Structure 1
Amino acid sequence: MTTQTASGFTAVDSDLYTQAFRLLDPAPEPSTPAPAAPAPAAFVLAAPPVHRPGAVEKTLTDALDFLDTHGWAKHRLIHPEGARCSIGALRAAAGARNDAYRDAGNLLLDEARKQHGKGWESIPAWNDSHTGPQVRGVWEAAIQRAHHLNI
């Protein structure tokens, strides 16, 4: 069986499509390559900034550590067994009556007045009139203030 197919199409010039596209876009611009993507930045995982305590915060922290290690005392600067009152611990931590010692003492007394009333004239008077937990709470608050003030 022979089947005849008549397409009815006329042969087309092969350049016809090329010419038609040139007419539609007479002057194609040369394609410029896309800019190269920048190399990804190397991610450096930096450690969080290390807090360096100021002289006042360090003195207060060292003094509280001294009280934790050697004990806290009332009514005497240094107990025969080594415990100290708050002012004795400050002196031990500072090593001398320097600016850090004075500023730490002022901050401690200021915090004592905030928590226990404005009538306290000195650290020894306040220290001797309160319990260990009350005294410790003032020390901790003073250290936090020094930390936030960055002193």
Structure 2
Amino acid sequence: MNTHTQTTDFTPVDQDLYAAAFRLLDPDPEPEPAAPVAPAALTAPVQAPLIAVQPVRLTGPVEKTLTDALNFLDTHGWTRYSLINTEGARCSIGALRAAAGSRNAAYCDAGNLLLDEARRQHGKKWEAIPAWNDCHTGAEVRSVWEAAIRRAHDMNI
């Protein structure tokens, strides 16, 4: 089977950048020794300040599937005209399948959201992800992926 593959200009994730960010958040995990306390301070009651804590927002299964699939494309490469090429690069639907692990609800919802975003950016004529994937450049495909991830995040799904 002859398939035409084309590489893209996907930017890989910089793992050193993430490590540096975490070091900035917690540069010195060792506690500093406590300063000596004056005897008068021991008897005075101290009221702790109230701190507003933001609720933790969990990543939804659709957002996670889309993010994992885009990370897969960044790591293994993107291709057209085949689900997976000989070098291991995948098309958009192949990346979704790899990220989801099975055709579960998150896979279906992520695919529907990705296709909806493709239609928003490239016209209503697209009926399936593979056809849309094969007719666009890597930059155009990446733009749709990123927008779909933002929408899943905003929708908290």
Q: Is the TM-score greater than 0.5?
A: yes
Q: Distance in 1 between matches of 2:115 and 2:53?
A: 36
Which residue matches 2:104?
98
Q: Distance in 1 between matches of 2:70 and 2:99?
A: 9
3-state DSSP of counterpart to 1:115: helix
- The question of 1:76 aligning with 2:82 is answered yes
For residue 117 of structure 2, the aligned residue among 106, 111, 118 is 111
Identity of aligned residues (%): 72
Give me the TM-score of the superposition, normalised by structure 1: 0.71
- 1:43–1:101 CA distance, 2 compared to 1 (3 A): same
| Structure 1 spans left out of the alignment, 5+ residues | 1-38
Question: Which letter maps to 1:124?
Answer: P
Q: Distance in 1 between matches of 2:79 and 2:50?
A: 50
Which residue matches 2:132?
126
Question: Which letter maps to 1:132?
Answer: G
Cα offsets for 1:7-34 (capped at 9, x unmatched): xxxxxxxxxxxxxxxxxxxxxxxxxxxx
Cα deviation for residue 62 of structure 1 reads: 0.1
Which residue matches 2:141?
135
Structure showing greater relative contact order (alpha-carbon pairs closer than 8 Å, 6 or more residues apart): 2
Q: Tell me the number of residue pairs that the alignment of Structure 1 and Structure 2 aligns.
A: 113
Question: Which letter maps to 2:111?
Answer: G
Q: Distance in 2 between matches of 1:130 and 1:60?
A: 19
Which residue matches 1:146?
152
Cα offsets for 1:65-120 (capped at 9, x unmatched): 00000000000000111100000000000000000000000000000000000000
